[in-house]
Chain A
Amino acid sequence: MSGVDPPEQAPLRVSILAQGAYLIASIHTALDDEHFERFQHDLIDQIGQHRSSGVIIDVAALDVLDSFGSRTLRNIAEMARLRGAVTTIVGIQPDVAFAMVELGLDTGSVHTALDLEEGLDYLAETLKAVGTSRSRVPR
C-alpha cells in the first residue's frame, strides 16, 4: 500500500478489505504467476486474522484469466474452505467467460456471481443456511 515497498514486495495489485465477516479482494490489474501466489498467500493469511466466514474475489478488472489464474482461484477457494470460509468469484467479464470455456477452463466447484452485490447476496444466503441448520434455505 505504501509507496516505499522493498524491491521484492512490489506495489500491491490486489486490495484485500475486511468488511464485517467477509473479505473482499479486488484484483486491479493483470497478475503474473508470482503475484497470484502472493495474493493467494495474503488472502489465506487474512482469513485467519479477520476470522472471516466469506470471501469475495472480484475479477471485474481482469480482461484475461489464464489456466494458472483460474487454477489459483480454485486453490484459494479450496484453502479458504479448509479455513472455514465460503468463496465466490464475481465480475467475470463476458469476453473472459467466453475465452475461458473455449480454452476449457472453469472454476470447478467454486460459485461465481455476476457482480459484488450478487456475491454478497450469495454469501449471506449460504452462510445463513449453514449457520442455522444444515437444511438449505428454499429459494
Chain B
Amino acid sequence: VLQVRERLLILPIIGILDAARARQLTEQLLKAIRAHRAKVVVIDITGVPDVDEGVANSLVQTVDASKLMGASVIITGLSSEIAETLVTIGVDLSKMDTLGDLQEGIEEAERLLGYPGVGIDDVRR
C-alpha cells in the first residue's frame, strides 16, 4: 500500500491472488486507510493474470469495507480476460468503480479529492 498524495492510497496487486492473500491485503488496506486517513484508494490489478469467483468476491468485500471506513475505492487495470471472466461467472460488480488504467484512476482520484485537474489537453502543447 503506497501513499501518493495526501489522503490518496494506491494498492498495486501483482501476481496471483488467492483467498488468503486477498484477505491479508484487505486487512492491510483497512489499517492503512486508518493510519493515513485516506479518502480515496486506487487498487490496480494490471499485474493480476486471472481471477476466480472467490477472489472477485473478496475484492467486492474490500470495496465495501473501505466504504464503511469512509474511503472510496477505484479499481483499475482490469484486463480484457478478467473483464470477460467476471461477466461470465456473473459476479455483481455494479457497486464498483472501475477505470481502464492506473493513470485514469489517479486522475479520477485527484478529481474526487479536489486537486486541479490536469487533462491530456494540457500536456499536448
Contacts and interface: CB of A to CB of B under 8 A. Distances in A.
Interface of A: 90, 92-98, 100-102, 106-107, 112-115, 118, 139
- Bin chain B's interface residue count: 20 to 34
Contacts of A102: 61
A101 B68 CA distance: 9
A114 B71 CA distance: 7
10 contacts: A92-B69, A94-B34, A95-B30, A96-B68, A97-B69, A98-B61, A98-B65, A102-B61, A112-B70, A139-B114
A106 B30 CA distance: 16
B31 to A, nearest CB: 5
Contacts of B2: none
B112 interface: yes
A98 B29 CA distance: 10
B65 A113 contact: no
